Each structure stands twice: as C-alpha cells, then as structure tokens.
Amino acid sequence: MRPCLVVGNWKMNKTIEEAVHYVQALLPLLSGSSIEPWLAVPFTCIQPVAEAAKDSSLRIGAQNMNDATHGAFTGEIAAKMLLNAGAQFVILGHSERRMLYKEDDAFINRKVHRALQDQLRPLLCIGEKREEREQGRTHEVLQAQMTKGLEGIKKEQASQIVIAYEPVWAIGSLEPATPDLANETHRMCRQWLKELFGEEIAQQMSLIYGGSVNEDNAPALLSQPEIDGLLVGGASLTPATFSQIIHSQINKVPTP
C-alpha cells in the first residue's frame, strides 16, 4: 500500500514568525490521521519550521532548488543547503516555475538527479495548460514532461520520487479537475511509470493531485484508487483548512 500524502505548498507567503505560529497551531490538530502531512515552505522558514515540527509527523520541504552543488549562481540555493536547514523534500517543476521563470524539462531533470543524489525527495510536478487540453494534447504534454523530467533515473531511485499531476487550468482557479478525470489521468501516468521503471516500482510510486483542492473536494479526490494524495496551495495557508484536508474521510475504491 502506498502512503497517503497531503502536501501543503505555501508559495511566497508567510514570515518566520507567522510560519512558526502556524506550525504550533497545526501540530495538535494532526493526531489521529493516517495521512502523511508534508509542508513546502519559503526558504527562510525551513529551519525554524523544521525545528518547531521536530518529533512530529510533519515533514518540511522546499519549493525549488538549483541543480548545481555550489558556486557562482547568485540568488540560487543548493540541495545540501536545504537538507542542512531541515528540508526532507523539494517541489520541482511547478507550473509557476515553468511559466514565470522559463524552467524547461532538461533543467528540471537535472534538479531531480541532484535532489536524489543529495538525499532530498523530489516532488515532480507535471500538468497541461487549458489550451493544450482544448487542442487534445493533454496526454502528449504530460508524457513528455514525465519522461523528460525522469530521464536517466534508475529503477532503484524511482520509488523516492513523488509525481504531482497539477492541471495548470485548475491551479488557483476554483475549478478543480473532477475526481474521475484526475483518477483517469493518474492511471495513465502510472502506465508511463510502468513503462519507465517496471510494474513493481511503478506501484510503489506516489502520484498526487493538485489544483484548487479544498476541505470540501478533498475526500472525493482522495477516495479515487489512483490518487495517493494531494498538493494543496491556497487551502494550506491556514491550519484549520489544512488539517481538515488531512482528516478527510477516505473510502478508497478498489482498483478494478
């Protein structure tokens, strides 16, 4: 059985003080859930939040990194620095990075390799834009992002990777994918993972959905057999809504 993950992505929000208050409010709300809570916070918050969350089930991660180990890359941050600050995972290839900062699949692929080498779990995001869906290109776009993003990854490394399917049209839009559409897309993604890494490894890899997830739609999404968790932006910004998602009642439909 794959673990069920709920990953918060704060994006560019919260000062250190706000972040620590949030975690202090969240921790008591976590008990009794079998879902693994992860939180991707701004770089400045990683160390204090990891300290506040130590001895709890909450894992702290980053939202981006560079593929180089060190050197003359003004404004960038390396995997080892994130690890040293207390991060356990890193979001890579988020559509905001792809679109606003022109990150391409080759760069994202180098980051996936670097994260694995330096013991950070990569959370690789893929997703089609609205016009790509309307042009009937969803499968082609997702398959290309996945195969290029995972190029050269060895079978024995692959189970450390989490894939997040985030349709770009669903992010911050109040228009989430329907549970059926998300499940069907995850099924297709798992098929590609089987082609890349074989049946056994593909079954161990977590595939999570993101895009306008909230406390109301989370249970239906999580109940789908191919959806192993959620990536949550806006609704992760308050402990009350994030913890409600973590406590979603899930009725997993058996895989046919």
Question: Which parts of this chain interact with ligand PGA (CB under 6 A)?
Answer: 9, 166, 171-172, 210-213, 231-235
CB of 210 to ligand PGA, least distance (A): 4
Kindly tell me which of 58 and 201 has the beta carbon lying closer to ligand PGA.
58
Place of tokens 């890193």: 90
Contact 150, 108 (CB under 8 A): no
Does 139 participate in catalysis according to the annotation? no
Q: Given the complex with ligand PGA, which of 86 and 176 has the nearer CB atom?
A: 176
- Our CB check for ligand PGA shows the closer of 7 and 85 to be 7
Which candidate in 94, 96, 128, 226 is catalytic? Answer: 94
Q: Which of 103, 128, 132, 166 is catalytic?
A: 166
> The dihedral of CA 217, 223, 225, 227: what is its sign?
positive
Task: Give catalytic status of residue 247 as yes or no.
Answer: no
Pick between residue 82 and residue 213 the one whose CB is nearest to ligand PGA: 213
Supply the minimum distance, in Å, between the C-beta of residue 237 and ligand PGA: 9
Cβ contact 213:172 at 8 Å: no
Q: For strand 229-232 and strand 206-210, is the pairing parallel, antiparallel, or unpaired?
A: parallel
How far is residue 62's CA from residue 44's CA, in Å, rounded to a whole number?
10
Which of 94, 87, 157, 82 is closest to 124 using CA atoms? 94
**Strand, helix or coil at 209?**
strand
Minimum distance, C-beta of residue 72 to ligand PGA, in the bound complex (Å): 31
Q: Centre a 10 Å sphere on the Cβ of residue 247 and count the other Cβ atoms it contains.
A: 19
Instruction: Tell me how far, at minimum, the Cβ of 252 lies from ligand PGA, in Å.
Output: 22
Catalytic residues: 94, 166
